[in-house]
């Protein structure tokens, strides 16, 4: 008879997510994961099978949490341009307890070029976010607040690239004034 687990698996995934977010996949050792989760090596490997499995679960958790917030913001009743502006401005003022940067962007740079599973996961996530952004952009075009001559997918890609770039800049030490200037310039594209 197997012994029951004595820990909260979801809390362990959340702790691992923060560790990977702060130092990346390669930069996070098994010992780092043990320290972050409070689990021993055997508990980690018995529960998650591998570091890669734990990383994938942590990345999925991150995407689900961030996407829920993005989709809620984009579904708000405000004018489309204001919703897009609020989304971009989130990169200026991320929650104070979050590590700098973005786990999705970090994973695109570090793992996607050599890990097809992670690349596919990131691609599916990007398409979901682009679809949500394109819907808002089209609403703004129909309302006359966004230039109807601009391609919604191109604008959605621009917003995504701007936010990603801002996250990289923040991780590199960019201050609030710099990030705010980037956001203001980006919003001028609409």
Give which of 48, 68, 67 is closest to 58, Cα–Cα.
48
**Can you read off the two tokens belonging to residue 31?**
């010992």
- pLDDT tens-digit map of 153-165: 999 999 999 999 9
In this predicted structure, what is the pLDDT of residue 96? 75
Domain residue limits, the chain: 59-187
R_g (Cα) of the chain, nearest Å: 19
In this predicted structure, what is the pLDDT of residue 2? 47
In this predicted structure, what is the pLDDT of residue 6? 54
In this predicted structure, what is the pLDDT of residue 95? 74
In this predicted structure, what is the pLDDT of residue 112? 95
Query: What count of residues does the chain have?
Result: 190
**Can you read off the two tokens belonging to residue 46?**
């018995």
- pLDDT tens-digit map of 64-73: 999 999 999 9
Which residues, at least 6 apart from 167, have a Cβ–Cβ distance to it below 8 Å? 91, 100, 101, 102, 105
- Average model confidence (pLDDT) for the chain? 92
Which residues, at least 6 apart from 118, have a Cβ–Cβ distance to it below 8 Å? 55, 56, 59, 107, 111, 112
pTM greater than 0.85: yes
The parts of the chain modelled with pLDDT lower than 70 are 1-7
> Which CATH number does 59-187 carry?
1.10.357.10
């Amino acid at each position: 008879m197997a012994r029951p687990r004595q820990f909260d698996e979801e809390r362990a995934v959340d702790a691992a997510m923060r560790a990977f977010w702060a130092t990346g996949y390669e930069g996070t050792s098994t010992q780092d994961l043990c320290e972050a989760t409070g689990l021993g090596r055997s508990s980690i490997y018995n529960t998650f099978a591998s570091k890669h499995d734990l990383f994938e679960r942590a990345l999925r958790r991150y995407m689900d949490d961030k996407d829920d917030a993005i989709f809620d913001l984009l579904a708000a009743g405000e004018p489309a341009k204001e919703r897009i502006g609020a989304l971009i401005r989130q990169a200026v003022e991320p929650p104070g307890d979050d590590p700098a940067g973005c786990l999705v962007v970090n994973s695109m740079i570090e793992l996607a070029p050599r890990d097809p599973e992670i690349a596919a996961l990131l691609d599916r996530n990007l398409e979901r976010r682009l679809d949500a952004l394109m819907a808002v952009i089209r609403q703004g075009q129909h309302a006359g607040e966004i230039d109807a001559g601009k391609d919604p997918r191109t604008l959605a890609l621009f917003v995504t690239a701007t936010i990603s770039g801002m996250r990289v800049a923040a991780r590199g030490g960019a201050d609030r004034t710099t990030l705010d200037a980037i956001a203001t310039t980006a919003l001028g594209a609409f």
